[in-house]
Chains A and B, each alone.
Chain A
Amino acid sequence: MGFVAQLIPRLALSERRAVVFVTNDQLTQLDAAEWFEMIDDPEYQPVTTRRHVRDRFDHWIGCNPPFPKYYHGWDVPGRRMCFCFKWTEKNVMNRFYGFLWHPQSNTRPRFEVCALLSHAVKHVNETEQSHLNLAATMFADEKVRVALQMYFPDRVERRH
């Protein structure tokens, strides 16, 4: 099975933004969905983790003023598509890494998707370059884009 995009259910609804996970059975690095499934379980402790993470997604989806403690991108050449969501659980820093993309450039040019790929537990306050490399690679992969456009189909522009 190839790349699969999964829209995260039961978040805030917006015409402008959405958060999805991208998975692939062959690529174990794409573990963000698996992590989220674990922490989103009502039995998971502390229960605040689930709430913190969902609240961060909602905050971004709502186009609220940017709040770097919750999420941010990188203003660095070759990394400008990269994005991460952040939270702390039991004094340990956690991250979901992915990329931003506009999957409906013809139908809804302003609609933006955050495709989350991998999870990292951090012990130092420095960016995990391997996760950014992965995000940049996936961003450029046509098969990933096809998977995303299965969820967010775009009108094909006809050339005259």
Chain B
Amino acid sequence: MDEMQQRHWTEDSTDDFIHKIVGDFVRFIEIEMGDSTSGSDLAKKVGVSAGRVSQVLNNPGNLSLKTIVQFARALGAKVSIVGYRDDDPQNAKGPVSAEVFTECWAQYGKPRDYFTISNCDRIVYLKYTPELDWAGWKIDAEATTNADHTSGRNVTTAVTPNSGGRT
């Protein structure tokens, strides 16, 4: 397998990469719109035509950052731009999807700032179970519950990875 074969398709061009990550945002918009909000409702809120909304949703690569923010705010949502390193400098695996970041943030208790993260007193114990989960990690519910009893504290967030039970 040559070097090019080992690279994810988003490595072909910057436009490919942009399509992928903005596509994640478009999916978020479509889910937020659901069945209750039609494209025309969103168009009114943003102040563009329904055709423009459709065009944007069908061609994520043309979405500007300004439009992304306009669309998110029109739905009462917000946007972050996250840079990260994933030990994949050649981009063999592709970008991590926005859903993964959002889910991790939600599972962490949706902290609003760094203080909230460092001040948390809940420890969610993770158990390494390769057969059960693609990433090998799964919340150890029993250990987490026991920890809550012994600490007597209100629990919020924090993740302590380990390789076979509790640390």
Contact = CB atoms under 8 A, between A and B. Distances in A.
B131 A110 contact: yes
11 contacts: A10-B5, A11-B94, A13-B94, A51-B16, A54-B9, A55-B19, A55-B23, A62-B97, A62-B100, A64-B97, A110-B131
Interface of A: 9-16, 42, 47-48, 51-52, 54-55, 58-59, 62-65, 67, 69, 88, 109-110
Given A9-B5, A15-B134, A64 B99 contact: yes
Given A13-B93, A110-B131, 9 more contacts: A10-B6, A10-B7, A13-B92, A48-B59, A55-B23, A58-B20, A64-B100, A67-B27, A109-B131
B161 interface: no
| Chain A interface, >50% SS class | loop
Nearest to B8: A10
Interface footprint category on B? 20 to 34
A13 B95 CA distance: 11
Interface string B73-109: 0000000000000000000111001011000000000
| Chain B interface, >50% SS class | helix
Contact of B9 (A10, A67, A110): A10
A156 to B, nearest CB: 19
Closest 7 CB pairs of A and B: A16-B134, A51-B19, A12-B94, A10-B9, A64-B99, A13-B93, A15-B134
A15 B134 CA distance: 6
A109 B131 CA distance: 8
A83 B123 CA distance: 39
A105 B70 CA distance: 48
